[in-house]
Amino acid sequence: MSRSESLFKAAQTHIPGGVNSPVRAFKGVGGTPVFFKRGEGPFLYDEDDRRYIDYVGSWGPMLLGHSFPPVIEAVRAALDNGLGFGAPTGIETEMADLVCELVPSMEMVRMVSSGTEATMSAIRLARGYTGRDKIVKFEGCYHGHSDSLLVKAGSGALTLGEPNSPGVPASLAEHTITLTYNDIDNVRQAFAEIGDQVACIIVEPVAGNMNCILPAPGFLECLREVCDEHGSVLIFDEVMTGFRVALGGAQEYFNIKPDLTTLGKIIGGGLPVGAFGGKREIMQHIAPLGPVYQAGTLSGNPLAMAAGLTMLQALREPGIHEQLSAKTEYLTQGLEAMAKRHGVAFTTSAIGGMFGLFFTEQETVSSFADVMRCDAKRFGEFFHGMLDAGIYLAPSAFEAGFVSNAHTEAELDATLEAADSVFAKLAG
Ligand code: PMP
């Protein structure tokens, strides 16, 4: 029995499913989750001392590789002063100033401790600001696990939303409307009917939780327009895309200004940090300035701020995002060429340091329905073939992959070489 197998068995006694977040359990791909003990640069090391080239990057934060030395140093230095005071510190202002400089649509920002908290708070703020209850989101986008967001579409486009988890009250879910990603007509029709009741649209400007789906031309522009026409708040959930697809996030890349932005992952450099912010006029409604309540004992924690601030400062170095994009495209184009050579139906998507892998005959994959038509079983086989070869991909056909700037040509080529033999097996 490997150490991962025995650790996983032991974990299940007191941890539900043996994991602290469901996707880690390998449910979608089968098999035993790998237990890791160390990360360095593009590599993870498991409990059996096997080395993997990592394309999960802690689900996003490790844009500059694991154990990025400046971040580790900054946390070590902060550690000497204590772990947290629950009172203001100067570094929180430095962090806020830098975030607002890098993402100019954010005129004010509030720190929280996870992406879930960021989106939950932004939605409460949008509701409090507009005095409206309904919110619009898109099928296949994930915004964390707060009650209003764990909701699926009812049977028609504008029917009441239904909880997609037990424990979410139907009376709350009915305020969430779920539309089709990249479907402009669907958005316009919904807003023509009920736009004046909509507090906000929340959207992943690049969807990274149904594999990786780019916004269709005109889609984000349409969201901006309908929000302007109906007095609704446009929230870009940039927990995944923030500081990744460009230094200023997807909003910089696509040149669309949301009213509010939510951030997570990279902003904490690997420690638990999230943030939400945006127009001053809206943010002034948050307590203690305004009446919309939001708070956090651990918010702005000095270790987390030291990690995040150092990470964001490092990302300002010119050329980082260009290098990331080039590396990601090298990988995805190489994979596509290899699949083609072996006659495996396969396509990819890529933007900045994010990518998607799709086992499908479809030439483009642009909606949740398209993603659902992909061959998840084939993905599982590919995943395990790659894992055996020491390549750690996201253990789910519905998650984006992440390349870091610590990945060099050597790791990318080793990945392509491994894929060559896995595609050959899939074809055979
Ligand atoms: N929004 C998006 C776009 C995400 O990808 C995630 C997490 N994958 C979240 C929100 C929730 O963040 P957290 O897991 O930190 O609560």
115 CA from centroid of ligand 1 (Å): 5
Last residue of some domain: 286, 315, 344? Answer: 315
Last residue of some domain: 274, 290, 315? Answer: 315
Q: Do residue 186 and residue 220 come from a single domain?
A: yes
User: How many angstroms separate the Cα of 118 from the Cα of each of 41, 48, 125, 267, 383?
Assistant: 28, 36, 11, 12, 31
Strand, helix or coil for residue 278? strand
Active-site choice (54, 183, 237, 259): 237
Q: Do residue 140 and residue 229 come from a single domain?
A: yes
Q: What percent of the chain has pLDDT over 70?
A: 99
Residue-level pLDDT at 139: 95
pTM of the complete model: 0.97
User: Is the backbone peptide bond immediately before 288 cis, with ω within 30 degrees of 0?
Assistant: yes
How many structural domains is the chain composed of? 2
Overall average pLDDT of the 181-205 stretch: 97
Give yes or no: 265 in active site: yes
Q: Do residue 117 and residue 36 come from a single domain?
A: no
261 Cβ closer than 6 Å to some ligand 1 atom: no
209 Cβ closer than 6 Å to some ligand 1 atom: yes
Residue-level pLDDT at 161: 86
Helices (H), 295-408: 302-315, 320-341, 368-372, 376-388
- Sign of the torsion angle spanned by Cα atoms 335, 53, 425, 417: positive
- Residue 126: its H or E element: helix 115-130
Whether pLDDT at 138 is above 80: yes
pLDDT tens digits, one per residue of 372-427: 999 999 999 999 999 999 999 999 999 999 999 999 999 999 999 999 999 999 99
Q: Do residue 43 and residue 103 come from a single domain?
A: no
Total residue count of the chain as it appears in this document? 428
Query: By mean pLDDT, which of 233-237, 360-364, 390-394 is the weakest?
Result: 360-364
The two three-digit tokens of residue 373, written as one number:
């038509």
- CATH number, domain at 163? 3.40.640.10
Q: Do residue 28 and residue 134 come from a single domain?
A: no
pLDDT confidence of 157, banded at 50, 70, 90?
Answer: low
Residue-level pLDDT at 428: 82
Overall average pLDDT of the 109-113 stretch: 98
What is the domain range of residue 117?
69-315
pLDDT tens digits, one per residue of 291-328: 999 999 999 999 999 999 999 999 999 999 999 999 99
Last residue of some domain: 295, 315, 335? Answer: 315
Q: Do residue 193 and residue 268 come from a single domain?
A: yes
Overall average pLDDT of the 15-35 stretch: 95
Q: Do residue 141 and residue 274 come from a single domain?
A: yes
**Which of 112, 113, 116 maximizes ligand 1 atoms within 8 Å of its Cβ, making it the mutation to test the pocket?**
116
Overall average pLDDT of the 29-39 stretch: 97
The two three-digit tokens of residue 387, written as one number:
């894992």
- Residue 37: its H or E element: strand 36-40
Angstrom distance (rounded) from CA 257 to CA 7: 46
Give yes or no: 142 in active site: yes
- CATH number, domain at 11? 3.90.1150.10
Give yes or no: 257 in active site: no
Whether pLDDT at 370 is above 90: yes
Q: Do residue 394 and residue 327 come from a single domain?
A: yes
Q: Do residue 42 and residue 107 come from a single domain?
A: no
Residue-level pLDDT at 364: 87
Q: Do residue 231 and residue 203 come from a single domain?
A: yes
The two three-digit tokens of residue 95, written as one number:
């962090």
Q: Do residue 306 and residue 179 come from a single domain?
A: yes
Instruction: Please give the span between the terminal C-alpha atoms of the chain, in angstroms, as a whole number.
Output: 30
**Which is the closest atom of ligand 1 to the Cα of 274?**
15
Pairing relation of β-strands 51-54 and 391-392? parallel
Query: What is the DSSP-derived secondary structure letter of residue 421?
Result: H
pLDDT confidence of 156, banded at 50, 70, 90?
Answer: low
143 Cβ closer than 6 Å to some ligand 1 atom: yes
Q: Do residue 366 and residue 421 come from a single domain?
A: yes
pLDDT confidence of 341, banded at 50, 70, 90?
Answer: very high
Q: Are 308 and 71 in contact (CB under 8 A)?
A: no
